[in-house]
Structure 1
Amino acid sequence: MFNNSENKPLYILLISVHGLIRGQNLELGRDADTGGQTKYVVELAKALGKQSNVERVDLVTRLIIDDAVDADYSAVTEDLAENVQIVRIEAGPEAYIPKEELWSHLDSLTDRLFTWLLEQRRLPDIIHSHYADAGYVGVRLSHLTGLPLIHTGHSLGRDKLRRLLASGMTLEQVEERYHMLQRVSAEEDTLSNADLVITSTRNEIEDQYELYDYYTPEKMAIIPPGTDLEQFYPSTDRNEEIAFKDVLIKFLNNPDKPIILALCRPDERKNIVTLLEAYGRSPRLQEVANLVVVAGNRDDIRELNEGAQNVLIELLLVMDCYDLYGLVALPKHHSSSEVADIYRLAANSKGIFVNPALTEPFGLTLLEAAASGLPLVATENGGPVDIIGNCHNGLLVDPLNGEAIAEALLKILEDATLWQQFSENGLKSVAKFYSWDAHAHAYIQKIQPLILKQEPLPKPALLTKSSQYRKRAIFTAIDNTLLGDAEALSQFIQLVRQQHRKFLFGIATGRRLDSVLKILKTYGIPTPDVLITSLGTEIYYPPRFTADVAWHYHIDRLWTPQVLRRIIDPLPGITLQQKDQQSRFKVSYYYDANIAPPMEEILTLLRQQELSVNTTLSFGQYLDFVPARASKGLALRYVARQWNIPLEQVLVNGGSGGDADMLRGNTLGVVVDNPHREELLALNDTDRVYFADSAHAGGILEAIAHYDFFNL
């Protein structure tokens, strides 16, 4: 299936879930989710598509059908170039929602995207996820396909959490607003499973990724983003008429003075209030330059989200406090097509671009400004350190020191020779270090080794003729799900016998094969078509219960049970289960919650030891470790793919924590009533999970009726 030659044309899949993403007229700054990342992924897709050895690039994002946003975002596909397209996949409600509300819909997005990929002529060679939510999707796709995973964080939850707490917010407030624990968990999981992490700066690696438990600098590559030099360039005529100047005239008494330009979202982390305070406290700065703050778009401040409202209101209050009317422009609207002109307008005025953010992961606007001929004053925290270090085109400042910001601005504004030097340095160095062509070339060089050692996907097992025509399936766990109510079990067995030609019957359990076979015999349960045992690490096919060797090969990646035991065995309150509970790809313990470390501490320990495993706590006392590519849910999707059964027609029944990933996504999930269903209460927020009133097999029968399963 795969030709691992270096000349093989590449198919690259990029995933960027949130924000408003389209090929033209990006609504940058519209909200906190539509910023630099959306521009980055679109430009990256286009740049990769231009490379001679790239056959196809797909940029996957979320489909949005909402009268409140443009109809462009409802197009299922959008061409960016002959071999580059945006692909929009359904995820949750049709309406546009913030990224913090997307988490419960990501499993459905994963299932739909996987189905879409299987419909393509061939699978991609690489998956590249952008931000934590796409990382969550990318990890699961990588496990399902065996494809290498690349990740770019853009901004990181632990760093954001640190700064939000420093700003005075409580952990409870941060969690309520940002769902930060879920985000950080997804980031840790992504870092554990990614084959390569692409960063923009060394500062990003050393100051941000270093905060994570799974910190492996050797898996990280610095590839700075590019900038579009066909869009961002200096004026050939400094007296050219730029239409945006008319917008500024109504704000400024003397619009011909040099412009100090800030262009960013109205977000407190962008620190533009401190910039305005610095300007207000410096009569000298007010004398030599105007301040223009382009902070997103608005019709009515009162209609913006709370964070943007607070920033803009504070700006107006500071303007009033220092009586800056006629000196400061705060335009209400600008289009993405006007941004290049705004930079050129500032450069023609002999002005400066300033980025005073508390921290800046990279700083695409700095590159755009430099490519337009503007000197820079920027925060010393994050990407600007590398940009100004490479380009020698500006000054770094402490973003919390307003006096230092004012002094840096004045130093450049009042020294024409320095201004010219910084301007020329920026123009030369951006073209040298930060073109998209250079970025794409370095990118291909980094991913090529991953593709060359790529493992083929497992080949589907041979199917019996009778099974090929079944287009629906029922999978169930055993303990506290199928068993526990003798009368309901008898009714379920009768249903299986009567309707078996209409569906595939499967068992998915943490038990070993021998234990499952004893239970089937004891209770007279019909022989399933498929047995998924040992928590998804083994798949067997009757009548001879043949093991799926391809599945074993697929999951046996980075699996080191001896190393795992050396880490877990010494922990208090955790006792190795009997030998008959262990298997080749499963290490099982008893877990005493009164003595043992919390699960989060165990996961932290594993990450710190660079172990990538799938960890499950079931029934409050059974702690199991399996390979990262193995779980009941992943095995079930592997089987459904073999039989070509849509996940939307797979009824999945569970009752404890070990069943969680089997129930999430596009399957027809069922949580039967039992004493341990509280381990699955988080699934209340997911798209397709039914909590049955009846217990055990009775809950399965109830769900069959609820979903009208046999009439799907």
Structure 2
Amino acid sequence: MVGNDWVNSYLEAILAAEPGIGDSKSSLLLRERGHFSPSRYFVEEVITGFDETDLHRSWVQAAATRSPQERNTRLENLCWRIWNLARQKKKVEGKNAKRAAKRHLLREKARKEVTADMSEDFSEGEKADVPGEIPTLSDGSNTKGRMSRVSSVDVFENWFAQHKEKKLYIVLISLHGLIRGENMELGRDSDTGGQVKYVVELARALASMPGVYRVDLLTRQVTAPDVDSSYSEPTEMLNPLDTDNTEQEHGESSGAYIVRIPFGPKDKYVPKELLWPHIPEFVDRALSYIMKTSKALDDEIGEGGGQVWPVSIHGHYADAGDSAALLSGALNVPMVFTGHSLGRDKLEQLLKQGRPKEEINNNYKIMRRIEAEELCLDASEIVITSTKQEIEEQWNLYDGFDPVLERKLRARMKRGVSCLGRFMPRMVVIPPGMEFHHIVPHDVDADGDDEDPQSPDPPIWSEIMRFFSNPRKPMILALARPDPKKNLVTLVKAFGECRPLRELANLTLIMGNRNDIDDLSTTNASVLLSILKLIDKYDLYGQVAMPKHHKQSDVPEIYRLAAKTKGVFINPAFIEPFGLTLIEAGAHGLPTVATINGGPVDIHRVLDNGLLVDPHDQQAISDALLKLVSDKHLWTKCRQNGLKNIHLFSWPEHCKTYLARIASCKQRSPKWQRVEFENSDPDSPSDSLRDIHDISLNLKLSLDGEKSSVDTNLDAEDNTTASEIKAKLVKAVSTLSQKKISTEKIDSKMPTLKRRKHIFVISVDCSATADLLQVVKTVMDVAGESTGFILSTSMTVSETHAALISGGLKAQDFDAVICNSGSELYFTASASEDNKTVLPYTHDPDYHSHIEFRWGGENLRKTLVRWIRSVEEKKKLKQGEILCEDEASSTNYCLSFKVKDPASIPPMKELRKLMRIQALRCNVVYCQNGARLNVIPVLASRSQALRYLLVRWGIDLSNMVVFVGDSGDTDYEGLLGGVHKTVILKGIASDLRELHGNRSYPMEDVTPLDSPNITEAEECGRDAIKAALEKLGINLPKA
């Protein structure tokens, strides 16, 4: 709560009170309670659930009490409460200090280990970039194709020369809030704020740049009855910016568009905290949209036979960043991220206020948000920030970003030295741009006098002026929400207590729109009431304007009015992440006073159009305002500086820097050439994948060429036979890589799977192999003839085949097999007739190149081995007692480890944290009842493998039904959500529930358990499964 004068008043009252209250003089309430300990009662009972507003209310009641005895009793009780506040504050500070110290120690240890791994000297090139440099990072393997150190202007010009014929396609994502191109309802709720305006204007500005053909801004389609129908329109074309670009080519699909994707609860507008479980559905629908748009753009502007892939996918805020990471992985295109507001920073601030972590997480889903932001650091090529403060003080809190390590890695990149599989995203500061087309450039002259006194005054001027007894005085303008963080109460106090300032100026507070204060949130209402009381206290009637309503189109006119009166704009926020209003004020020739905390420092450095103040120093605020309104020469100088330098914050400047940064990325896109399926005969019996002979991997199962000797028990110890099988697998893949693979034959067979009416994906993680086989047989028994099957598992391909054979099943019963937790994808083929001991599986030749992004390989393996040894040393165990490498189960893109003691294994989140601190990007999966640990590429998973089938082969995800158990491997949650149908088989589960319980956030923050696409089968029986499918609208033919 802002304004704590009541605390001083309270303390003075305590000092003036009588020394104590004996039993004879105690209040009736205390005497009736008998033996009573006020300290114990107020520490254990009263404090529970209190906040500062309640405390203030209690003080008001105590001060208003007439009876001295009761007043003193209440003051004593309040004393205990405030004492406990101080006590709790000390505890919070202690916890914060311990947490910061632990983070520092972990980082120092990681830095030492990385330095030890890197034998190269870091003495040169570790300094921060000089202005204009655009050094870049990659996956650490090499620097081939990287741009030299040149200015952003040079980069943009070179990039434009190379790409203007390519007509780029850019995808932006901003999920929450209400987004439309015109008449934005900014301030309607906490989700519809500055971010909405920023992403719309960014899309419009990018589409006006040379070389950019189309920009899509993806958001949520909202059809709720309490919002305007415009938010339910699937597509909205944005009006182009006024631009001098004459080289821009306009085609049928060119320009900027808001594309609204339906996902989440229908007919309901929900806050961003409730959107998390529905992100997989958005990803699937957005993926389908991008695929169709890319194909349409290729037909329009491409060379034909392929697709115009997005040059980047840019997520805004954590929810859209999480979506962008998954889309980037599915499409294998670069990702860009802008946080806008960061979860770890918010968590730190709330913890410092003494709020319990559980309460914070329940209200804000903060841990889910933080994990999404960590994933963004894993997947992003570039992270765009508004200020250096955001990098140094906010991103520095994350496991996945270490500025010291980032400089070391960047230094190695510049020198052409391998980074050993380590990666840090490139942090770049690009201040938001601003539209100037609505600003009248010569509204007032250099001295602030009106050049066109005959022009009619806008209606909002009279709405403000009616508050003032002398409207000709300079206007001090503040434009912000009535939020305690905006520090408006201190501003009113500074104005009210400075008589010279009150005599020289008026104060205008634009604090959003309201009808009734009682209808506002408690926090906003509290700020407004405090301001009204201060107006009354200092008798500021006729000197302060607080209009209840204004439109977005009125804002430029409000700035003009302040400039016309030779006024000042002020942003006194305790901390301001950026400060777009300061740029708007400067564009209108209005000098500014701004907080020294956050983005305004960077803005002031560029514009030099005002003064910076400590927001906690009331006197400094009033002095700065008085100086600007009383010194005409200073006011004019600040105005001229702002108008002269404001072009540096224009959208064209922003987009030039933005596109130059995009140009510095290593461009990625799917590497295959699409083959048209329509030319194949849909009725040809040879279209089945199960008839492929000539591209089998020919993986032998035994040494003697006869019956397989692989143990079908997944929990059995691997022996030399397994090692030899691994060796044969590697040899077979090596041999195959030396041959020319006929991908056209795979393309010609794929339509069979594509034409399946339904595709059943069996992703059940069972405690025993026999249970898995029973599930497979039951599901197959239920399915119809037009149903295809995909087996999705954490086992290797040889283990999978052995398990199927042991249960009397054939590889040809499946169309595809996803192995090693999603790091391997195989299609099934007929076994060779002359050799029945081969494995009839064909590896997808494009899959590994699609998922290898930032894969650490051997360097990651060494770090994991070192981690295993540290865990064993910490627990004083012998080497190999907890984990050991499982070479037989490992592949080039899956590092497998045997877990011998699951109870001693640190939680998965701790291992992920360790890898991120080491700048190693990977996906960690505990599987097979905790007996195995699979480490795979960061954007690979079983759920992402299904999306690959859409991108590579055009398989419709909505035709899929995924079967899972009650629980499963630690990637289980990713299999539930999406556009596919999901059947949860009750009673079928692995023994990994405890490992799932170690996650940072509850399952409901990830999975939409109330989704109509998810249902349960009460048992793993034929009738139960068929009933569950019927609930999902899938009616199979009777047997």
TM-score range, shorter chain: over 0.9
In structure 1, what is the Cα distance between the partners aligned to 2:255 and 2:605?
Answer: 36
Alignment match, 1:101: 274
What letter corresponds to residue 253 of structure 1 in structure 2?
S
Deviations 1:447-505 (A, max 9, x none): 12326455636868422554342132100125328852887665434334xx2x31211
In structure 2, which of residues 628, 642, 650 is the aligned counterpart of residue 412 of structure 1? 628
In structure 2, what is the Cα distance between the partners aligned to 1:175 and 1:652?
Answer: 30
In structure 2, what is the Cα distance between the partners aligned to 1:675 and 1:316?
Answer: 60
The 10-residue stretch of structure 1 (390-399 or 448-457) with the greater mean CA deviation from structure 2? 448-457
In structure 2, what is the Cα distance between the partners aligned to 1:685 and 1:492?
Answer: 22
Alignment match, 2:571: 355
Per the TM alignment, residue 668 of structure 1 is displaced from its structure 2 partner at its CA by 0.9
The 10-residue stretch of structure 1 (503-512 or 473-482) with the greater mean CA deviation from structure 2? 473-482
Gaps of 5+ in 1: none
Per the TM alignment, residue 548 of structure 1 is displaced from its structure 2 partner at its CA by 0.5
In structure 2, what is the Cα distance between the partners aligned to 1:27 and 1:103?
Answer: 23
1:282 aligns with 2:498: yes
What letter corresponds to residue 665 of structure 1 in structure 2?
G
In structure 1, which of residues 703, 706, 710 is the aligned counterpart of residue 1028 of structure 2? 703
* TM-score (normalizing by structure 2): 0.65
Gaps of 5+ in 2: 1-159, 241-253, 297-307, 411-425, 676-745, 830-839, 873-881, 997-1001
Alignment match, 2:779: 492
Q: 1:484 to 1:455 in 2, by over 3 A?
A: closer
Structure with more of its chain in strand, by fraction: 1
Residue aligned with 2:493, SS: helix
In structure 2, what is the Cα distance between the partners aligned to 1:630 and 1:21?
Answer: 32
The 10-residue stretch of structure 1 (59-68 or 674-683) with the greater mean CA deviation from structure 2? 674-683
In structure 2, what is the Cα distance between the partners aligned to 1:354 and 1:465?
Answer: 64
What letter corresponds to residue 53 of structure 1 in structure 2?
G
In structure 2, which of residues 509, 512, 522 is the aligned counterpart of residue 296 of structure 1? 512
1:615 aligns with 2:924: yes
1:131 aligns with 2:346: no
Alignment match, 1:171: 357
Q: 1:486 to 1:66 in 2, by over 3 A?
A: closer
In structure 2, which of residues 763, 766, 771 is the aligned counterpart of residue 477 of structure 1? 763
In structure 1, which of residues 668, 681, 706 is the aligned counterpart of residue 981 of structure 2? 668
The 10-residue stretch of structure 1 (270-279 or 58-67) with the greater mean CA deviation from structure 2? 270-279
Residue aligned with 2:1019, SS: strand
In structure 1, what is the Cα distance between the partners aligned to 2:943 and 2:397?
Answer: 30
Deviations 1:541-596 (A, max 9, x none): 11131100100111122212322233222341651353333222112235556433
Alignment match, 2:789: 505
Per the TM alignment, residue 318 of structure 1 is displaced from its structure 2 partner at its CA by 3.4
Deviations 1:58-79 (A, max 9, x none): 1111111123222221111111
Q: In 1, are the aligned partners of 2:330 and 2:951 still within 8 Å (CA)?
A: no
For residues 643-658 of structure 1, the aligned pairs below 5 Å read 644-655=954-965, 656=968, 657-658=970-971
For residues 288-367 of structure 1, the aligned pairs below 5 Å read 288-367=504-583
The 10-residue stretch of structure 1 (162-171 or 520-529) with the greater mean CA deviation from structure 2? 162-171
What letter corresponds to residue 274 of structure 2 in structure 1?
E
For residues 616-631 of structure 1, the aligned pairs below 5 Å read 616-618=925-927, 619-620=929-930, 622-631=932-941
Q: In 2, are the aligned partners of 1:223 and 1:443 still within 8 Å (CA)?
A: yes
Alignment match, 1:230: 437
In structure 2, which of residues 337, 340, 343 is the aligned counterpart of residue 151 of structure 1? 337
Residue aligned with 1:95, SS: coil
Q: 1:486 to 1:291 in 2, by over 3 A?
A: same
Alignment match, 2:949: 639
The 10-residue stretch of structure 1 (154-163 or 507-516) with the greater mean CA deviation from structure 2? 154-163
In structure 1, what is the Cα distance between the partners aligned to 2:672 and 2:1024?
Answer: 36
In structure 1, what is the Cα distance between the partners aligned to 2:355 and 2:561?
Answer: 39
What letter corresponds to residue 429 of structure 2 in structure 1?
I
Q: 1:196 to 1:490 in 2, by over 3 A?
A: closer
Alignment match, 1:606: 915
Alignment match, 2:739: none
Residue aligned with 2:432, SS: coil
In structure 2, what is the Cα distance between the partners aligned to 1:357 and 1:292?
Answer: 16
In structure 2, which of residues 383, 391, 398 is the aligned counterpart of residue 197 of structure 1? 383
Per the TM alignment, residue 697 of structure 1 is displaced from its structure 2 partner at its CA by 8.0
The 10-residue stretch of structure 1 (23-32 or 669-678) with the greater mean CA deviation from structure 2? 669-678
Q: In 2, are the aligned partners of 1:472 and 1:646 still within 8 Å (CA)?
A: no
Q: 1:172 to 1:259 in 2, by over 3 A?
A: farther
Per the TM alignment, residue 190 of structure 1 is displaced from its structure 2 partner at its CA by 0.2
Alignment match, 1:374: 590
Residue aligned with 2:611, SS: strand
In structure 2, what is the Cα distance between the partners aligned to 1:108 and 1:285?
Answer: 56
Q: Which has the larger radius of gyration?
A: 2
What letter corresponds to residue 975 of structure 2 in structure 1?
M
In structure 1, what is the Cα distance between the partners aligned to 2:577 and 2:602?
Answer: 11
In structure 1, what is the Cα distance between the partners aligned to 2:188 and 2:973?
Answer: 36
Q: 1:693 to 1:9 in 2, by over 3 A?
A: same
Per the TM alignment, residue 232 of structure 1 is displaced from its structure 2 partner at its CA by 3.1
In structure 1, what is the Cα distance between the partners aligned to 2:393 and 2:440?
Answer: 32
Q: In 1, are the aligned partners of 2:983 and 2:1029 still within 8 Å (CA)?
A: no
In structure 2, which of residues 258, 279, 287 is the aligned counterpart of residue 114 of structure 1? 287
The 10-residue stretch of structure 1 (75-84 or 420-429) with the greater mean CA deviation from structure 2? 75-84
The 10-residue stretch of structure 1 (400-409 or 607-616) with the greater mean CA deviation from structure 2? 400-409
What letter corresponds to residue 1031 of structure 2 in structure 1?
H
Q: Name the count of aligned residue pairs.
A: 706
Per the TM alignment, residue 362 of structure 1 is displaced from its structure 2 partner at its CA by 1.4
In structure 2, what is the Cα distance between the partners aligned to 1:615 and 1:76?
Answer: 37
Q: In 1, are the aligned partners of 2:331 and 2:951 still within 8 Å (CA)?
A: no
Residue aligned with 2:436, SS: coil
In structure 1, what is the Cα distance between the partners aligned to 2:226 and 2:637?
Answer: 46
In structure 2, what is the Cα distance between the partners aligned to 1:523 and 1:640?
Answer: 30
In structure 1, which of residues 539, 543, 546 is the aligned counterpart of residue 842 of structure 2? 546
Alignment match, 1:39: 197
Alignment match, 2:820: 534
* TM-score (normalizing by structure 1): 0.93
Q: In 1, are the aligned partners of 2:908 and 2:924 still within 8 Å (CA)?
A: no
Per the TM alignment, residue 690 of structure 1 is displaced from its structure 2 partner at its CA by 2.6
CA RMSD of aligned residues (A): 2.6
Q: 1:208 to 1:465 in 2, by over 3 A?
A: closer
Q: 1:495 to 1:72 in 2, by over 3 A?
A: closer
Q: In 1, are the aligned partners of 2:173 and 2:320 still within 8 Å (CA)?
A: yes
In structure 2, which of residues 176, 180, 183 is the aligned counterpart of residue 18 of structure 1? 176
Q: 1:147 to 1:487 in 2, by over 3 A?
A: closer
Alignment match, 1:555: 851
Per the TM alignment, residue 191 of structure 1 is displaced from its structure 2 partner at its CA by 1.3
In structure 2, what is the Cα distance between the partners aligned to 1:479 and 1:41?
Answer: 42
In structure 2, which of residues 894, 912, 918 is the aligned counterpart of residue 586 of structure 1? 894
In structure 2, what is the Cα distance between the partners aligned to 1:457 and 1:486?
Answer: 35
Q: 1:308 to 1:621 in 2, by over 3 A?
A: farther
Per the TM alignment, residue 512 of structure 1 is displaced from its structure 2 partner at its CA by 0.5
The 10-residue stretch of structure 1 (324-333 or 39-48) with the greater mean CA deviation from structure 2? 324-333
In structure 1, what is the Cα distance between the partners aligned to 2:611 and 2:942?
Answer: 54
Q: 1:194 to 1:464 in 2, by over 3 A?
A: closer
1:207 aligns with 2:393: yes
In structure 2, what is the Cα distance between the partners aligned to 1:323 and 1:301?
Answer: 21
The 10-residue stretch of structure 1 (158-167 or 684-693) with the greater mean CA deviation from structure 2? 684-693
Deviations 1:396-443 (A, max 9, x none): 122222222222211212211111111111111112x11111111121
Residue aligned with 1:480, SS: coil
What letter corresponds to residue 111 of structure 1 in structure 2?
D
What letter corresponds to residue 661 of structure 1 in structure 2?
G
Q: In 2, are the aligned partners of 1:467 and 1:643 still within 8 Å (CA)?
A: no
In structure 1, which of residues 684, 690, 712 is the aligned counterpart of residue 1015 of structure 2? 690
Residue aligned with 1:14, SS: strand
Residue aligned with 1:165, SS: helix
Q: In 2, are the aligned partners of 1:488 and 1:697 still within 8 Å (CA)?
A: no
Per the TM alignment, residue 681 of structure 1 is displaced from its structure 2 partner at its CA by 4.4
Residue aligned with 1:404, SS: helix
